[in-house]
Amino acid sequence: MLARTATVALCLCLAACAGRELRPPPGAWAAQRPQLEQLERFRLQAKVALRWPAGAETARLSWEQRGENTDLTLAGPFGAGAVAIQRRGALLEIRDGDSRRTLPADDPAALAAATGWPVPVDALAWWLRGLPDPAGPRSRITWESGLPERLEQGGWTVTYGRFGRVDGLLLPQALTLRYPAGALELRLAAAQWQPGAAE
């Protein structure tokens, strides 16, 4: 069950949409925004809790970003039920045990057929940094104490918890994604960042 729900969650998290937003208030985060936008390589480890109307799961997330290439792994306790997802250009490969599927990354209908959910692609790598995906439709950000508090984009809502400073950058240590209107909730916590680490 973890493998299927992890696949659904991770594909959903590779979601997309962007556009206009309120101007951020002055402060440390606003000053570092150009660096965050240019941060093309990073590693992230986090705990993940997924809830949906039929149940709940927990997992460990490993994320490696290298430009437009993404390598993700979701695994349950002691590595059980691991699911790996790779994004390479226009293709998304999902590996679940001995099963391997290759799907068009930009075709929500194909991904929905494979996972049971509508899945636009690409936004989470931006949302993890507190930024809207610049390639998609309209977005809205609200702020608290000079930091992103809430980002809305394409039916998704990202709520940010605490931030921590890593290599001089203020990065989210916890966030919650919801889509659509509470049908799916994904919480990332205890995030450990390595900016620029992915080679």
Going by pLDDT thresholds of 50, 70 and 90, the confidence category of residue 116 is very low
In a domain, 54, yes or no: yes
For 166, the domain range is 2-191
pLDDT for 171-180, tens place per residue? 999 999 888 7
Cα of 152 vs its chain's centroid, Å: 13
Going by pLDDT thresholds of 50, 70 and 90, the confidence category of residue 115 is low
Q: What is the pTM of this model?
A: 0.79
In a domain, 181, yes or no: yes
Flag the least confident range among 50-54, 117-121, 195-199.
117-121
- Position 121 scores a pLDDT of 53
In a domain, 198, yes or no: no
Residue 158 has pLDDT above 90, yes or no: yes
Number of domains composing the chain: 1
In a domain, 197, yes or no: no
In a domain, 48, yes or no: yes
Q: What is the mean pLDDT of the chain?
A: 79
Q: Which residues, listed in sequence order, are joined to residue 100 by a DSSP beta bridge?
A: 95
Q: Alpha-carbon Rg of the chain, whole angstroms? A: 16
pLDDT for 136-157, tens place per residue? 789 999 999 889 999 999 888 9
Amino acid at 84: A
Helix (H, G, I), strand (E, B) or coil at 90: coil
Number of neighbouring beta carbons within 10 Å of residue 159 = 16
Residue 127 has pLDDT above 80, yes or no: yes
In a domain, 155, yes or no: yes
Question: What percent of the chain shows pLDDT beyond 90?
Answer: 34
Flag the least confident range among 38-52, 79-93, 116-130.
116-130
Number of neighbouring beta carbons within 10 Å of residue 140 = 14
Counting Cα atoms < 13 Å in the Cβ hemisphere of 91 gives 6
In a domain, 196, yes or no: no
CA distances from 198 to 39, 67, 74, 94 (A): 11, 9, 18, 20
Going by pLDDT thresholds of 50, 70 and 90, the confidence category of residue 109 is low
Cα of 62 vs its chain's centroid, Å: 11
- 47 vs 186, which has greater pLDDT? 47
Instruction: Residue 89: give its domain's CATH number.
Output: 2.50.20.10
In a domain, 112, yes or no: yes
